[in-house]
Amino acid sequence: MRTLLIFFSLLCSLGLVRPGQAQAAEPQTEGFAPTRYGVGLLVGSAYDPDRFGLLIMQGQLLLDYDRVFWHAAPESLRLKLEANVGISTAKNQRGLLAVNALALYYLEYFRRGNWTPYAEAGIGLIYTDFQVEGQGMRFNFNPQLGVGGEYALSGGGALSVALRLHHISNGNLYKENRGINSALLMIGYLF
């Protein structure tokens, strides 16, 4: 329960969830795609160097790329901001916190009915309450990439599912830089 309260407080402080409001996507303004909010659950396993499970709760903010950056971008490009809190089974259920920024590109050509596939890639910062041998630091970079799809629901919401490759390392900022690689399944809901 404490983890859920911390997670909700983090999402509220980052503006990813508006307390007391569960509204659909904002109306489209100035030619931008609507801003969307979402939640997700990631489950998976680290596969290198050690094997252990990961369970991560996620808050999402999906913005039109042009709304944030000054240069023109393809219509299908979005900026996805995430706040994550989770646990691992490494060394008796240890915690992690992360913030990520990803470019998400809808693959409109492959749209079928209510399904729209996408590809995403980005980087973030992660704090882990655990370390593998040779890791060196608890604060690390968190590059990741994935593929997924959204299933549009009536009322503007959408279900999403994705597969992600997830890496944790300090980018050689410290002499010990043993990374952790994992594969994750993400299931989410966009408002």
The verdict on pTM exceeding 0.75 is yes
The reply to whether 28 falls in a domain is no
Residue 53 domain boundaries: 2-10+34-190
The reply to whether 183 falls in a domain is yes
49: closest CA among 135, 115, 171?
135
Count of domains forming the chain: 1
The reply to whether 162 falls in a domain is yes
Q: What is the pLDDT of residue 29?
A: 56
Q: Percent of the chain scored above 70 by pLDDT?
A: 84
Residues present in the chain in total: 191
- pLDDT tens by residue, 128-178: 988 788 777 889 999 999 999 999 999 889 999 999 999 999 888 878 878
Q: What is the pLDDT of residue 140?
A: 93
**Whether pLDDT at 107 is above 70:** yes
The reply to whether 83 falls in a domain is yes
Q: Would you state the structure tokens that stand for residue 80, as one six-digit string?
A: 């996805």
The reply to whether 54 falls in a domain is yes
Here the contacts of 159-165 (C-beta below 8 Å, separation 24 or greater) are 159/187, 159/188, 159/189, 159/190, 160/38, 160/40, 160/186, 160/187, 160/188, 160/189, 160/190, 161/185, 161/186, 161/187, 161/188, 162/118, 162/120, 162/186, 162/188, 164/42, 164/44, 164/120
Q: What is the mean pLDDT of residues 31-42?
A: 94
The reply to whether 91 falls in a domain is yes
The CATH number that applies at residue 56 is: 2.40.160.20
The reply to whether 24 falls in a domain is no
The reply to whether 95 falls in a domain is yes
